[in-house]
Amino acid sequence: MQQHRIIKEKVADFELTIYLPNSYAEGAKRYPAIYVQDGGNVVLNAFNYLDHLFITKQLPELIFVGITPHDRNYEYTPWPADTLVPGGVLFGGGANDYIQVLADQIKPYIDAHYATMPEPEHTAIAGCSFGGLVSAHAYYLRSDTFGKSAWLSASFWYEGYVKHMQETPLPAADHRLYMYVGELEGIHKTTIQAEMVAQTKAAYRILLDKGFPEQNVKFETDPLGTHDSFFFAMKFIHALRWLFAEGMEAEKREFARDRTRESNRETI
């Protein structure tokens, strides 16, 4: 991993980890950006394979912005909720304020200091677990800022969230969305987290029933999927392909032709 491609910043009192593409130093173009929760750990877990996808033109090069939370049980939850178990952690319900800071302070800073493509159609938000929940909430609050999103194993079990989706009009139909849940998530839980899979599927059905275009959303499950970073990293790659790889067939074919010509020259 090239350390000069990973930059640490502090903006609006949040620690940011910014992952720049290989060609960034050339200064020749601008890039889509994706804002990733939990410090962008899922990016780090997939870093080498992401480089392969960029080099082989299977994905356009992207700028990743990882945001490290101060307290994810506060910043990633949409309203206060009681602890799940006696003596456990209370959920603070600070997602509205967090999303406002992300959209109105952090993103403008990134756009001003890095070569992003700032329009909503080139800007995504993503996260896993509670990070997926706050990414879903950002769609409802700031679809004017984030035109794409990835909700990976999002915590739709959260008290009242699926009901909130049912009662809230869709803010935008031109959004591009990836959703994922593993079929084994929550099976060992005795709290409302046991409803993880059922509630995620209910959330997906609500979106379609309320008119979210089926061609704009990709919903995947995995029969072996558990709630852990192994599956998060793999499905994050699927999400990026769905969100950003549309229309890259010609570039992929050109790359393959170039590789074939190089191979032929080497064997002469």
Element (H, E) at 220: strand 217-222
Beta carbons of 11 and 42 less than 8 angstroms apart: no
**What is the edge-to-edge ordering of all strands in the sheet holding 123-128?**
6-11, 14-19, 63-68, 33-36, 123-128, 148-152, 176-182, 217-222
d(CA 168, CA 190): 29
Domain-by-domain residue ranges, the chain? 3-267
Beta carbons of 165 and 127 less than 8 angstroms apart: no
- DSSP conformation class of 91: B
Enter the CATH code of domain 3-267: 3.40.50.1820
Give tens-digit pLDDT for 86-139: 888 899 999 999 999 999 999 999 999 999 999 999 999 999 999 999 999 999
Residues paired with 161 in a beta bridge = none
Question: Closest Cα partner for 43 from 238, 236, 244?
Answer: 236
Indicate whether 253 pLDDT > 90. no
User: For the whole model, what pTM was predicted?
Assistant: 0.91
